[in-house]
Amino acid sequence: MLGLDPEVMRAATPPFADLFPTVEWQVGGHCNYDCSYCIQSKKSRVGQPDEVRVDAILAGLASLPASVRWEVKMSGGEPFAARLFLERIVPGLVERTPHLVSVLTNFSAPAKSLERFVRLTGDRLRITSASLHLESVEPAPFLERARLYRDVRREVAPKSSFVINSVVVPGTVARLLDVQAECEAEGFRFFPQLMKMNGGVFDYAPDERPLVERLLRGSVDPREVNRAPSYEGLHCEAGVWYFTLDQDGEAWSCRTAKRFAKARVASLAKARVACLDGAAARDVASLAKARVASLDGAAARDVASLGNMVDGTFALKTRGGPCPFSICPCTVPANRGIVRLPGREASAGSLTPPGLVRIATTEVPHG
């Protein structure tokens, strides 16, 4: 199924000892929340995969290089809102692949569903990242669910880790400082994420920046905070030992690559159609979009796209290279050794966004 020779697939090994191969699988588009700051557009937060697509993706994931164990980190939308999540996706990962399982969830699923997830994954569960969205839920019931979830993990998956993350929304920073204290008093890790907007990091008001830094504790460590920094020019194994996968099987070397490539294709297609008029424009709209592959935007898509795992065109790259992008909105590539960071202290300057001052760095175990 995969676009690599089977012998190559069996023999391939990561080039760095601390690199943990990872797939981020958007198992469904639908989300039961409608956060004002969501980085996914409303039109993309729709859809449910069917059995055929799920089975094809599971077969593809089972065919990844077998010399190492991969981590499959599932997200959405909201993964627990996907109809087949607990019925087919999670059981299929456990039964048909050797991979570890992680999940990014808004944690709104019933406690019984969360418990079922832990019991299905068992000792294959690696990380649960629970997103606290204050627009939709109060901290108290969220933390009560987290305590119940911790009890089940201690019984079934004691080596797994759990982290509460929250987007640093302007106007809520003072409240988030209280939430951070509540979470940590309960023994939970709290992971703040700077808000992303228009392809970059939100420019917080001057009077709020000191509070933001208090919340982030001055850290630039991607194991502690998400500042959505730039790793441009650093060696990255995205597309080789890391990739993202959507509900339709489309695979991309990373989140940023997908966003830039799709935006470029859409922009060029729109420009081509704009040169035509009326019915002619409508008639050739699809042709213009197809022909964009012959334009300079094709380079962006070629670098970004890994094909489709459902239709059999998926193929991993054979080698990594310098990161070409000015932002990395997700900390997974940095924390899994995909992007090769220099010494933490040496890279601190490049990791600090404009307008925010680095105060200190505290080392914590990676989760």
Q: Give the pTM.
A: 0.82
Classified as helix, coil or strand, 346 is coil
- pLDDT at position 286: 42
Helix ranges (H only) for the chain are 6-11, 51-62, 90-96, 111-121, 139-156, 173-185, 209-216, 255-274, 278-291, 297-304, 332-335, 348-351
Q: Per-residue pLDDT for 63 more than 50?
A: yes
Is residue 350 in some structural domain? no
Region of 13 on the Ramachandran plot (φ > 0 left; ψ -120 to 50 alpha; else beta): beta
- pLDDT at position 303: 61
pLDDT in tens, 17-61: 999 999 999 999 999 999 999 887 777 767 788 999 999 999 999
Is residue 346 in some structural domain? no
Q: Residues 236, 260: one domain?
A: no
Q: Residues 70, 200: one domain?
A: yes
Q: Per-residue pLDDT for 294 more than 50?
A: no
Task: Fill in the amino acid letter for 209.
Answer: R
Q: Residues 274, 200: one domain?
A: no
Is residue 348 in some structural domain? no
Peptide bond into 77 cis (omega under 30): yes
Q: Per-residue pLDDT for 209 more than 90?
A: yes
Can you give the residue range of the structural domain that contains 285?
A: 255-308
- pLDDT at position 99: 97
Q: Residues 16, 113: one domain?
A: yes
Percent of the chain past pLDDT 70, that is, above it, reads 78
- pLDDT at position 259: 84
Q: Residues 60, 91: one domain?
A: yes
Percent of the chain past pLDDT 90, that is, above it, reads 70
**First-to-last CA distance in the chain?**
32
Q: Residues 148, 166: one domain?
A: yes
Is residue 349 in some structural domain? no
192-215 in b/e form (b: 16+ CB < 10 A) is: bbbbbeeeebbebeeeeeebbbeb
Is residue 357 in some structural domain? no
Contact 128, 162 (CB under 8 A): yes
CATH for 242:
3.20.20.70
Q: What is the mean pLDDT of residues 218-234?
A: 96
| Count of domains forming the chain | 2
Q: Residues 46, 17: one domain?
A: yes
Q: Residues 119, 237: one domain?
A: yes
Is residue 313 in some structural domain? no
Q: Residues 112, 203: one domain?
A: yes
Is residue 365 in some structural domain? no
- pLDDT at position 282: 46
- pLDDT at position 262: 60
Q: How far apart are CA 315 and CA 309, in angstroms?
A: 8
Q: Which of 75-79, 148-152, 298-302 has the lowest mean pLDDT?
A: 298-302
Q: Residues 165, 266: one domain?
A: no
Residues paired with 339 in a beta bridge: 236
pLDDT in tens, 112-133: 999 999 999 999 999 999 999 9
Q: Residues 152, 298: one domain?
A: no
- pLDDT at position 229: 95
What radius of gyration do the chain's Cα atoms show? Answer: 21
Classified as helix, coil or strand, 208 is coil
Is residue 85 in some structural domain? yes
Provide the 10 A C-beta neighbour count for residue 313. 16
Q: Residues 96, 52: one domain?
A: yes
